[in-house]
Amino acid sequence: MKKLLSICSLSFFTLFLISCTSNDENKSTNAQTCHSGNVVLTADFASGRMDECKALGNSEYLITITPENTPINPSPWYAFKITAKEAEQIKITIKISGKRENRYLPKITRDLKSWQVHPHKYHAKRLKMTINASSTPTYISAQEIIDNQYYVDWAKKLLDNNKVSVSYDVLGESTQGRPIYKIENKGKSKEWLVVLGRMHPPEVTGALALFPFVETLLANNELANKFREKYNVLVIPNINPDGVFMGNWRHNANGIDLNRDWIKFNQPEVQHVNNYLKSIVAKGEKIKFAIDFHSTSKDIFYTLPVNHGVEAPYFVKHWLGSLDKAMPNFTVIQQPGNKPNQGVAKQYFADNFNVHAITYEVGDETNRENIIIIAKNASTILMKTMLSNTDHNKE
Least Cβ distance, residue 33 to Zn ion (angstroms) = 30
Q: According to CB under 5 A, which residues from 36 to 65 bind Zn ion?
A: none
Cβ-based nearer residue to Zn ion, 106 or 197: 197
Is residue 250 within the footprint of Zn ion (CB under 5 A)? no
Least Cβ distance, residue 158 to Zn ion (angstroms) = 24
Cβ-based nearer residue to Zn ion, 147 or 203: 203
DSSP symbol at 33: E
- Distance (Å, whole) CA 379 – CA 227: 11
Cβ-based nearer residue to Zn ion, 95 or 200: 200
Cβ-based nearer residue to Zn ion, 112 or 235: 235
- Which among 164-172, 233-241, 293-301, 308-316 is the span making contact with Zn ion, rule CB under 5 A? 293-301
- Distance (Å, whole) CA 301 – CA 306: 14
Q: What is the largest CA-CA distance in the chain?
A: 70
- Distance (Å, whole) CA 77 – CA 276: 31
Least Cβ distance, residue 302 to Zn ion (angstroms) = 10
Cβ-based nearer residue to Zn ion, 118 or 250: 250
Q: According to CB under 5 A, which residues from 145 to 204 bind Zn ion?
A: 200, 203
Q: What is the DSSP string of 247-271?
A: T-SS--TTS--GGG-TTT--SHHHH
Cβ-based nearer residue to Zn ion, 294 or 346: 294
Q: Which of 366, 358, 373, 371 is nearest to 327 (CA)?
A: 373
Q: Which residue is nearest to Zn ion (CB)?
A: 294
Least Cβ distance, residue 361 to Zn ion (angstroms) = 7
Least Cβ distance, residue 156 to Zn ion (angstroms) = 26
8 A C-beta contact, residue 194 and residue 234: yes
- Which among 15-23, 168-176, 288-296, 383-391 is the span making contact with Zn ion, rule CB under 5 A? 288-296
- DSSP three-state, residue 149: helix
Cβ-based nearer residue to Zn ion, 120 or 200: 200
Cβ-based nearer residue to Zn ion, 80 or 302: 302
- Distance (Å, whole) CA 3 – CA 301: 39
Q: How many residues bind Zn ion (CB under 5 A)?
A: 3
Least Cβ distance, residue 153 to Zn ion (angstroms) = 24
- DSSP three-state, residue 159: helix
Alpha-carbon torsion, ordered 129, 130, 136, 137, to 10 deg: 30
The conformational region for residue 343 under phi > 0 = left, psi -120 to 50 = alpha, else beta, is left
- Distance (Å, whole) CA 17 – CA 115: 9
Least Cβ distance, residue 346 to Zn ion (angstroms) = 11
- Which among 2-10, 96-104, 111-119, 289-297 is the span making contact with Zn ion, rule CB under 5 A? 289-297
Q: Which of 284, 105, 98, 112 is nearest to 191 (CA)?
A: 284
Q: Which of 182, 294, 318, 346 binds Zn ion (CB under 5 A)?
A: 294
Q: According to CB under 5 A, which residues from 329 to 368 bind Zn ion?
A: none
Instruction: Write out the residues near Zn ion by the rule CB under 5 A.
Output: 200, 203, 294
